[in-house]
Amino acid sequence: MKKLHIIGIICLILILIIALGIFLVGSPKKDTGDKINILLLGVDARDLQHPGNTDSISIISIDKSTKEVSLLSIPRDSRVKISGRGIDKINSAYPYGGLNATISTVEDFLGIKIDYYILVNFQEFKNIVDTLGGIYIDISANESSQIPELNGATGLTKLNGDQTLAYARFRFDSQGDVGRVKRHQKIIQAITNEFLKPANLGKAPTVLSQLNSNVHTDIPLLETSVLEQLLQGFNLDKGKTAIISGNWTTINGIVYLIPNNETKEQMVNELGLRD
């Protein structure tokens, strides 16, 4: 199985749910122009009715003509103007104003239009991992030494739900937010690998039920350009990807990433996030 980016893996799972008609809102197809931009948010909350901060913020863009896919990730500590609130970390937009504030903040920050969203609660992945009997993650020595729940394990290691959640939340390494995003990618890939094993097919109803309560989207069934890409698994191996960069600084005891506006604009243009 080819390595898939976090978006691809989540959407691979989503298409299974779409096929069963479990959770789609059923909104009408939008006039999206030549590009479709989907905001992917990963939250760490008790449930989607009790908002937590967004741990993962990414925009996936699909060119409706060429079917090309690109991805831009925004570190959660990026210091930006929050719609209706003022300057703060971008991950505070969701608990402050929900989806509307988050979408508006991302649109204003990048100067793009968001057409649809996918909201995932990472907290629930703990239960999914336990349902699947654990997942296998390649643990580095540095991660092992700083995450007590791993019990000193290194290399390819089978993790239970609590260990997986601790691994997902860890961010105190040299890569900071970027390292955390990469760990989220590894977790989602590992969950998908386990989910697709023949021995776990019988657990599909339980897993899908767990996803039903913790994954929301407004992508309609009529949006064929999105669904075609979902069916292809969103393989971004050949797509363009980028992460917003900048300078780290501490203001009033709080650590922020101050985005570099010049490189941000370059990334948006190179990834083709605008029509």
Instruction: Indicate the pLDDT class of residue 5, thresholds 50, 70 and 90.
Output: very low
Domains of the chain by residue range: 6-124+201-271, 129-195
Q: What is the fold of 129-195?
A: Aminopeptidase (3.40.630)
- pTM of the predicted protein model: 0.73
How many Å apart are CA 166 and CA 164, to the nearest integer? 5
The mean pLDDT of the chain is 79
Mean pLDDT across 263-270: 96
Mean pLDDT across 264-271: 95
Mean pLDDT across 60-84: 85
Least confident of 42-51, 95-104, 168-177, 253-262: 42-51
Q: 69 or 226: which carries more pLDDT confidence?
A: 69
pLDDT computed for residue 94 by the predictor: 92
pLDDT tens for 124-140 read 778 888 988 999 999 99
Mean pLDDT across 25-39: 68
% pLDDT > 70, the chain:
74
pLDDT computed for residue 233 by the predictor: 46
Instruction: Indicate the pLDDT class of residue 11, thresholds 50, 70 and 90.
Output: very low
Q: What is the fold of 6-124+201-271?
A: Nucleotidyltransferase; domain 5 (3.30.420)
pLDDT tens for 136-186 read 999 999 999 999 999 999 999 999 999 998 998 887 777 766 677 678 767
pLDDT computed for residue 90 by the predictor: 96
Q: Tell me: pLDDT of 58 over 80.
A: yes
